[in-house]
Chains A and B, each alone.
Chain A
Amino acid sequence: MLNIENVSITFKKGTLDEKKALQNVSLTLEDGDFVTVIGGNGAGKSTLLNIIAGTLKPDEGSVSIDGKDITNIPDYKRASLLGRVFQDPRQGTAADMQIDENLALAKRRGKMHGLAWGITKAERLKYSEMLKEFDLGLENRLTANVGTLSGGQRQAVTLLMATMNSPKVLLLDEHTAALDPKTASKVLSLTDKIVKEGNLTTLMITHNMNDAIRYGNRLIMMSDGKIIFDIKGDEKMKLTVGDLLKKFEESGAEATDKMILSD
């Protein structure tokens, strides 16, 4: 269970550019909740995920996972609880290292990095099987450097890295936005499959309203550093893009073309 309580953060405090990126945000995710997050540019979505991941520290409020307060725990120390996939496919993997080496690092997330072998033979076999299920032809390229993969392949590898240890919370920040439509939908259905199979508690930011409605059991809309709409279960199933656009207008935020044009 993820518990965010009264979290606020202000950037460039006391300057002309002061920006209250999050204002008293509270959010609780039950185990297995798959929450899609939408909202206009600058609404505070990424900031929220960064605070959960620990790359940003809130000015006020607290973050806890399974009752354990992690607000003051540095990002790399809480990494064992989390899985992350970034918008930029280059961010989630080490380009100069092999596919299997990247996976081995993810496997050891949260463990001491001692003088045991960085990867074992048995692992290699297992990774090859895992990748085979992805059906991207990566199972025969285990020793290729990740830098030689396409953006979609890199996101798939990152997704595997993020989920292989069954994290308490999976954080996806527009992880298909940099991909072409076909690859994006492939990675997205892969995401859905992995999340469902592992019953993973997930926060997924997307700009695509249809995807936000189609995937997950809960949807939240953010605007101006606040959660302005939170809907789940049957009600969410009945939601239409029209409903969401109306909500947007009510909030005063402008929906971008990208949100409306998506299918």
Chain B
Amino acid sequence: MVLASSFIGYLSSFASSLPSVVEQGFIWGIMAIGLYLSYKILDFADLTVDGSFALGGITLAVLMKAGVPVGVAMLVAFGAGLLAGLVTGLLHTFLGIPAILAGILTQIALWSVNLLVSKGLANVGIDIRNQFVLVRSLTDMQKLYSILFLIGFIAAIIGLLYWFFGTEMGSAIRATGSNETMARANGINTTWMKIIALSISNGLVALSGSLSAQFQGSGDINMGKGAIVIGLAAIVIGLAIFKKAKKNFALHLVACVVGATIYYFVYQLVLSLNISTNLFKLLSAAVVAVFLGVPYLRKKINFGKWGKKNA
């Protein structure tokens, strides 16, 4: 009897947290879309994102605290993310610093930049009771509105990206990521294409950070910690589910959002089971490692078989 009632209690607490899970999943889905641009299209593992996510959140919080309306604050956050991506792009292309290291350097530098923006505060609160924000989670009605807004916002982002990557510039960026030799032989300035793609990518990540700050009611210096792993997890989970959508770019972006939502669903499940969330980063890293490692191992094993057959 006690067991049953505690189970029902558990279920209802889990169910009541679901709207917030969806909100968080959608917010991080935008982050995953940004990461998809660098990781999948440019073939560039960009560690800048941990810093640019927090940059977006803190920029928005500081501006809103000063009375700036949410729309303007988000635009500035997006611009700040663009600049962060630009820096990584310049470090990589003009100074020849390897991708991973260029990202790490910007990420580390952003830690200080974020503290400068927040005037040394680790956490900058937003008065979400009295200031208009686009995403919040205090009442069920707010949750519903937030989710509807996020669906529209994500649809607009995916629409814009779908258009952009069909243009000449977008095609040139895809070619750069796919085969740099070919791109240059066809007159594409691959240096600028990389810089543009990294900028857009980090702009989107910062935008996601700015939404996350609204959701939490504050911008936090630590909010981007491990963002790259969450983003990668979202991408690999999403693409595994949307396996059939081999070439459809828009569906791949939808997959990123679905992947992020599943990620937060599982996260919430772990929370409600009273498993220590300290372990969750370990779990996330393991998930990413498995998803990235399995295709490689499969190829290796198949190759082994092939070798034997022909011996």
User: A residues near B, CB below 8 A?
Assistant: 53, 55, 75-77, 79-80, 82, 84, 86, 90-98, 101-102, 104-106, 108-119, 145, 161
Find B169's partner among A80, A94, A115, A161 (CB 8 Å cutoff).
A115
Find A95's partner among B178, B183, B185 (CB 8 Å cutoff).
B178
A79 close to B184 (CB less than 8 A): yes
A113–B310 Cα distance when bound, in Å, is 48
Q: Beyond A94-B175, A94-B182, is A105–B170 a contact (Cβ under 8 Å)? A: no
B187 close to A94 (CB less than 8 A): no
B185 close to A97 (CB less than 8 A): no
A91–B172 Cα distance when bound, in Å, is 16
Q: Main SS of the interface on chain B?
A: helix
A101 close to B167 (CB less than 8 A): no
Q: Which B residues between 135 and 182 are near A, CB-CB below 8 angstroms?
A: 164, 166-172, 174-175, 177-179, 181-182
B187 close to A79 (CB less than 8 A): yes
B172 close to A105 (CB less than 8 A): yes
A261–B202 Cα distance when bound, in Å, is 56
Q: Which residues of A contact B183 (CB under 8 A)?
A: 76, 94, 105
Find B167's partner among A102, A110, A118 (CB 8 Å cutoff).
A118
B190 close to A76 (CB less than 8 A): yes
Q: Is B247 an interface residue (CB 8 A)?
A: yes
A115 close to B174 (CB less than 8 A): no
A76 close to B188 (CB less than 8 A): yes
B185 close to A92 (CB less than 8 A): yes
Mask, B86-108, CB within 8 Å of A = 1, is: 00000000000000000000000
Q: Main SS of the interface on chain A?
A: loop
Known: A92-B181, A97-B174, A112-B168. 14 other contacts (CB 8 A): A75-B185, A77-B189, A79-B185, A79-B187, A91-B181, A91-B182, A94-B179, A96-B177, A98-B247, A109-B186, A113-B189, A115-B164, A115-B167, A116-B167
A30–B183 Cα distance when bound, in Å, is 28
A145 close to B167 (CB less than 8 A): no
Q: Which residues of A contact B178 (CB under 8 A)?
A: 94-97
CB closest residue in chain A, given B179:
A94
Q: Beyond A53-B185, A161-B186, is A95–B179 a contact (Cβ under 8 Å)? A: yes
Q: Which residues of A contact B247 (CB under 8 A)?
A: 98, 145
A53–B187 Cα distance when bound, in Å, is 11
A118 close to B166 (CB less than 8 A): yes
Q: Which residues of B contact A106 (CB under 8 A)?
A: 186
Q: Which residues of A contact B184 (CB under 8 A)?
A: 55, 75-76, 79
CB closest residue in chain A, given B171:
A118
A79–B172 Cα distance when bound, in Å, is 14
A94–B190 Cα distance when bound, in Å, is 13
A114 close to B185 (CB less than 8 A): no
A82–B188 Cα distance when bound, in Å, is 13
Q: Which residues of B contact A110 (CB under 8 A)?
A: 187
Q: Which residues of B contact A114 (CB under 8 A)?
A: 167-169
A53–B185 Cα distance when bound, in Å, is 8
CB closest residue in chain A, given B184:
A76
B187 close to A97 (CB less than 8 A): no
Q: Which residues of A contact B177 (CB under 8 A)?
A: 96
Q: Which residues of A contact B174 (CB under 8 A)?
A: 94, 96-97, 101
Taking the closest CB of chain A, its distance from the CB of B159, in whole angstroms, is 15
Most chain-A Cβ atoms within 10 A of its Cβ — which of B164, B166, B182?
B182
A155–B174 Cα distance when bound, in Å, is 20
A75–B186 Cα distance when bound, in Å, is 9
A-B pairs with beta carbons under 8 Å apart, 29 shown: A53-B185, A75-B184, A76-B185, A76-B189, A77-B187, A79-B184, A79-B187, A84-B185, A86-B181, A90-B179, A91-B179, A93-B179, A93-B182, A94-B175, A94-B178, A97-B171, A97-B178, A101-B171, A102-B175, A105-B183, A106-B186, A111-B168, A113-B172, A113-B193, A115-B169, A117-B166, A118-B166, A118-B167, A145-B247
Most chain-B Cβ atoms within 10 A of its Cβ — which of A76, A79, A112?
A76
Most chain-B Cβ atoms within 10 A of its Cβ — which of A55, A77, A95, A117?
A117
CB closest residue in chain B, given A80:
B187
A95–B182 Cα distance when bound, in Å, is 10
Taking the closest CB of chain A, its distance from the CB of B36, in whole angstroms, is 13
Taking the closest CB of chain B, its distance from the CB of A65, in whole angstroms, is 15
B168 close to A117 (CB less than 8 A): yes
Taking the closest CB of chain B, its distance from the CB of A196, in whole angstroms, is 23
Q: Which residues of B contact A98 (CB under 8 A)?
A: 247
CB closest residue in chain B, given A76:
B184
A94–B181 Cα distance when bound, in Å, is 9
Q: Beyond A77-B187, A94-B175, is A116–B182 a contact (Cβ under 8 Å)? A: no
A55–B182 Cα distance when bound, in Å, is 12
Which A-B residue pairs are the 8 nearest by beta carbons? Answer: A118-B171, A79-B187, A94-B178, A109-B187, A96-B178, A113-B172, A113-B168, A76-B184
Q: Beyond A117-B168, A118-B168, is A111–B187 a contact (Cβ under 8 Å)? A: yes
A75–B172 Cα distance when bound, in Å, is 16
Q: Which residues of B contact A79 (CB under 8 A)?
A: 184-187
A101–B165 Cα distance when bound, in Å, is 12
A44–B219 Cα distance when bound, in Å, is 60
CB closest residue in chain A, given B190:
A76
A104–B166 Cα distance when bound, in Å, is 11
Q: Which residues of A contact B181 (CB under 8 A)?
A: 86, 91-92
